[in-house]
Chain A
Amino acid sequence: MTVYNDKIKNSSAEHIQNSGKKRRVILSTKNLKTYYPIYGGLFKRTIGYVQAVDGVTFNLYEGETLGLVGESGCGKTTIAKVILNLVPATAGEIFYKDQKIIIGSTEKKTKRKKLHKQNKLIDIMLIPPISVANTLFGFAKLSLKKIFRTIKNYLIKLLPPLRKIIKATVSILKQNYLNLVEIKHPYDNALRKKIQMVFQDPDSSLNPRWKIVNVIGEPLKILLGMRKRRKIRRRVLELLETVSMKREHLDRYPHEFSGGQKQRVVIARALACNPEIMILDEPTSALDVSVQAQILNLLKKIQKKFGLSYLFITHDLSVVQHIADRIAVMYLGKFVETGTLEEVFYNPTHPYSRALLSARHTFDPGSKKNRIILEGDVPSPINPPSGCAFHPRCPEKEGHIGCDIDEPRKIHLGGDHYIYCLPSKKEKRSYEGVDYVSDTWTK
């Protein structure tokens, strides 16, 4: 695992402040943005952007479950995809422990420019060879180590003084070239081992023509480099047993299983290479209530056993309240409220999360609560409303100042509890005196 050696100063200081215990941040995003371009018009120009994720900052601590709640189309799944590098980030950064693993495409460009500025003189000399080398090595897919070794061997034969000069230039080239290469590919197998994902629909995430051994064995082959069939079978059986399935399931095909069992297989596959972070994208929404309970129990058991961190994406509030330690409520690509489960569920402060929580069902027909019913639909993320994205549907917008003009600010409510809202007009519920926390990250 390579990458820059930037350290997260802010976040490490933050989490020590927030909680007395020392919790290690395992994954964090800083001001993450992902825009999908829309093509159209003449020559398929980009005519606009879907602002799927628009400035999201969060920390995932070791061994905890962060629940990401929101309606469909609010960008939950996009966050998961960006973390796995399946979708490029437009701006912002993602850190795994202390390593920067993903940077936004706009920042990539500025970074490259900076590098060139640092050593302008060498640059003038090096830009053409770098670009040539880039294309050559890129096409040939040669490993860099081999190339440098051959150059070295060739140099040994040359005269010592000439050797020294060439060696120096090569080392400079190496530094520069490696830097550039690594911006392009910060995501390698070592990292993929640590972050794994379970998708929503177990049906479509299993290849119908592969046996279960091969399905679960594939990450073992690719990521762990296991070759021997017997070894793989043994490990797969071990994995199947951790998700309480049996030996006879090894050689079956996916269609022979029920939905719950398929989801177990998918979880086993995600566990195959001992990940540290598991991203669960609506793992139970395709399942029945009784099967859902089984899967939730299993997930909790596995988390205890392996000390995993979960990023749990769901729209089902009853599931999230069972499994999550902390919750982030999303609306139209932005966080609306974050905090621990107790803080958000017992004291929802943002009007959207209050409406969302009031819409969840109680299983007691006798006590029908006053639920807040929001008007209208979720607006399109192509042209999100100005200012606070929630203001056209907000039942409390008259009580706040500048909802349709200003961006909502991050307001600290004590503990781990933050909301993103605008100051209130009334003195009673004013957020004055409570410090705003800047969301833009500075070094």
Chain B
Amino acid sequence: MDSTVKKKTNAGADEKNQTDSVITGISENLLEVKNLKTNFYTEEGIVKAVDGVSFNMGRDEVLGLVGETGCGKSVTALSILRLVRPPGKILEGSIMFDGVELLDLTDEQMREYRGKDITMIFQDPLNSLNPILQIGRQIAEVFLLHQEEELKEILEKRHLDRDKEKQVIKDLEEELKIKKIRLTKEEERELKAEIKNLKKKKTKKLSLKEIAWEKSEEIVKEVGIADAKGILKRYPHELSGGMRQRVMISMGLSCNPKLLIADEPTTALDVTIQAQILDLMKKLKKKFMTSILLITHDLGIIAELCERVAVMYSGTIVEYAPAEDLFKKPRHPYTKGLISSIPSIEKRDQELLTIRGMVPNLIYPPSGCRFHPRCDYRLEICDKVRPNNIEVDDKHFVACHLFDPKYKNSPKYQ
């Protein structure tokens, strides 16, 4: 009942005032990207890196973003975090994250989202860790920046505990003074020893930083590093690739983010280590209930981890479907080509099917459907009109004229 009421009020708010709903509304989807366009203004011309990308991400979902190099996967991710550097610029579109329009926020407001609600893991863990700072300090920084109040609460609790301990020692000392005459030597000795012990056990005066380090130790243990305390004191170059990536993941998960963007998290790693990391990500996803936007060029990882997949080609999403559907029944010619070009033991004696031609230049992209110069099923309409997203199956979207009933009778291109 409650949920329906909430929805109704939401809908009402939507109609009344959009800006209000932006702040208060709770939508079903965690992330809604609509018609996002990001351009890079270079000397050679305008590079339309992301050109009208729209997708949704539900809560607690893993969405895969696949595509070849230079198709705009990473730029999409950076646009969500608003980390596109000049000459790049987000031209238009909307990015709704948990009911908030990220593109309307000021820089300071945005900074609160980064690293707290939305975190990112980059491809090369060595380049994204600071080589001259200890691992512990880098993880603790996240806590100090985003969870200062919680840390302060813990600190106060600790201080209260400490005061209590102090009081106990004081009481004992006073007892000693008062009863000194009556006590035998042995009893006196015992009391003194007790006081000494308590003083030893007494917790030291803690700073905020030390509590942050303690918390980072916990989170590092979570990602399967056994010797957490030792790791925190080391520098990035002392760790292996897999360890570094674990540290990065722990840093990403430290504030219980709602969305974790993983940009090729296992590309720099070996096969067996890759298996470890993917396994870890699966476990952590269940535990922390985070949604993951997984960016990769490896269809194998997608098949492993993702529930839904968006296939990108030269700045646009060409197919958007549940993972199982996509691998069983790829619809878009590009996806078909991509899947059939994966080598496998069954296809040993045959020649691999390839997609002819090359990835187009993003400064002068082809007109109409961007895939048409390389497409084997090309219609005459393909180079004139940009295809719309068409729902072919349940939640299976394809941007191709072949599936558009409007162009059913369009002749095939010769």
Interface, chain A (partner B; CB < 8 A) = 71-72, 258-260, 288-294, 296-297, 300, 315, 317-319, 321-323, 341, 345, 355-356, 358-366, 368, 371, 373-374, 377-378
Asked whether, in the complex, the Cβ of A364 is within 8 Å of the Cβ of B352, the reply is no
A378 to B271, CA, bound (A): 12
Binds A, one of B163-171, B176-184, B252-260, B341-349: B341-349
Those of B352-411 within 8 Å (CB) of chain A: 352-355, 358-359
Contact of A289 among B243, B341, B345 (CB under 8 A): B341
Asked whether, in the complex, the Cβ of B327 is within 8 Å of the Cβ of A363, the reply is yes
Asked whether, in the complex, the Cβ of B324 is within 8 Å of the Cβ of A365, the reply is yes
Is B303 close to A, CB under 8 A? Answer: yes
A369 to B223, CA, bound (A): 23
Asked whether, in the complex, the Cβ of A296 is within 8 Å of the Cβ of B352, the reply is yes
Is B187 close to A, CB under 8 A? Answer: no
Asked whether, in the complex, the Cβ of A71 is within 8 Å of the Cβ of B345, the reply is no
**Given A360-B300, A361-B300, A315 contacting B343 (CB threshold 8 A):** no
The list of the 5 closest CB pairs from A to B, nearest first, reads: A361-B300, A322-B343, A293-B341, A71-B270, A359-B275
Q: From A258, which residue of chain B is reached at the shortest CB distance?
A: B358
Asked whether, in the complex, the Cβ of A359 is within 8 Å of the Cβ of B271, the reply is yes
A297 to B299, CA, bound (A): 20
Those of B291-307 within 8 Å (CB) of chain A: 297-301, 303-304, 306
- 1/0 per residue B73-93: CB within 8 Å of A? 000000000000000000000
Asked whether, in the complex, the Cβ of A361 is within 8 Å of the Cβ of B301, the reply is yes
A374 to B242, CA, bound (A): 12
Interface band, chain B: 35 or more
Contact of A297 among B68, B275, B303, B351 (CB under 8 A): B351
Asked whether, in the complex, the Cβ of B354 is within 8 Å of the Cβ of A294, the reply is yes
Task: Show 13 A/B contacts (Cβ-Cβ < 8 Å), sorted by A.
Answer: A290-B354, A315-B271, A321-B348, A322-B345, A341-B345, A341-B348, A355-B272, A363-B339, A363-B344, A366-B324, A373-B279, A374-B272, A377-B243
A364 to B69, CA, bound (A): 23
Asked whether, in the complex, the Cβ of A318 is within 8 Å of the Cβ of B343, the reply is yes
Q: Which residues of A lie under 8 Å from residue B300 when comparing CB positions? A: 318, 360-363
CB distance from B165 to the nearest CB of A (A): 41
Asked whether, in the complex, the Cβ of B272 is within 8 Å of the Cβ of A356, the reply is yes
CB distance from B61 to the nearest CB of A (A): 14
A297 to B276, CA, bound (A): 32
Asked whether, in the complex, the Cβ of B297 is within 8 Å of the Cβ of A288, the reply is yes
Contact of A365 among B270, B279, B303, B358 (CB under 8 A): B303
Is B203 close to A, CB under 8 A? Answer: no
Contact of B299 among A289, A294, A341, A378 (CB under 8 A): A289
Asked whether, in the complex, the Cβ of B344 is within 8 Å of the Cβ of A293, the reply is no
A278 to B151, CA, bound (A): 61
Asked whether, in the complex, the Cβ of B345 is within 8 Å of the Cβ of A345, the reply is yes
Interface, chain B (partner A; CB < 8 A) = 68-69, 240, 242-243, 270-276, 279, 297-301, 303-304, 306, 323-324, 327, 337-339, 341-345, 347-348, 351-355, 358-359
Q: Which residues of B lie under 8 Å from residue A366 when comparing CB positions? A: 324
Q: Which residues of A lie under 8 Å from residue B355 when comparing CB positions? A: 290
Contact of B69 among A288, A373, A377 (CB under 8 A): A288
Q: From A69, which residue of chain B is reached at the shortest CB distance?
A: B271
CB distance from A291 to the nearest CB of B (A): 8
Q: From A317, which residue of chain B is reached at the shortest CB distance?
A: B271
A320 to B69, CA, bound (A): 22
Asked whether, in the complex, the Cβ of A322 is within 8 Å of the Cβ of B348, the reply is yes
CB distance from B343 to the nearest CB of A (A): 3
Q: Which residues of A lie under 8 Å from residue B344 when comparing CB positions? A: 318, 321-322, 363
| Residue from the set A71, A356, A377 with the largest chain B CB neighbour count within 10 Å | A377
Q: Which residues of B lie under 8 Å from residue A363 when comparing CB positions? A: 299-300, 303, 327, 339, 342, 344
Instruction: Give 7 new A-B contacts, CB below 8 A, not counting A361-B303, A366-B324.
Output: A296-B343, A296-B352, A359-B274, A360-B300, A361-B299, A365-B327, A373-B279
Q: Which residues of A lie under 8 Å from residue B298 when comparing CB positions? A: 289, 361
Q: Which residues of B lie under 8 Å from residue A291 when comparing CB positions? A: 68
A22 to B260, CA, bound (A): 57
A285 to B206, CA, bound (A): 50
Q: From B326, which residue of chain A is reached at the shortest CB distance?
A: A365
Q: Which residues of A lie under 8 Å from residue B69 when comparing CB positions? A: 259, 288
CB distance from A282 to the nearest CB of B (A): 13
Asked whether, in the complex, the Cβ of B303 is within 8 Å of the Cβ of A360, the reply is no
Q: Which residues of A lie under 8 Å from residue B272 when comparing CB positions? A: 71, 355-356, 359, 373-374
A318 to B301, CA, bound (A): 13
A378 to B273, CA, bound (A): 9
A123 to B154, CA, bound (A): 85
Q: From A319, which residue of chain B is reached at the shortest CB distance?
A: B343
A377 to B341, CA, bound (A): 32
Q: Which residues of A lie under 8 Å from residue B279 when comparing CB positions? A: 371, 373
A322 to B240, CA, bound (A): 30
Q: Which residues of B lie under 8 Å from residue A300 when comparing CB positions? A: 351
Q: From B279, which residue of chain A is reached at the shortest CB distance?
A: A373
Asked whether, in the complex, the Cβ of A258 is within 8 Å of the Cβ of B359, the reply is yes
Asked whether, in the complex, the Cβ of B342 is within 8 Å of the Cβ of A318, the reply is yes
Q: From B280, which residue of chain A is reached at the shortest CB distance?
A: A373
CB distance from A371 to the nearest CB of B (A): 6
| Residue from the set B343, B347, B352 with the largest chain A CB neighbour count within 10 Å | B343
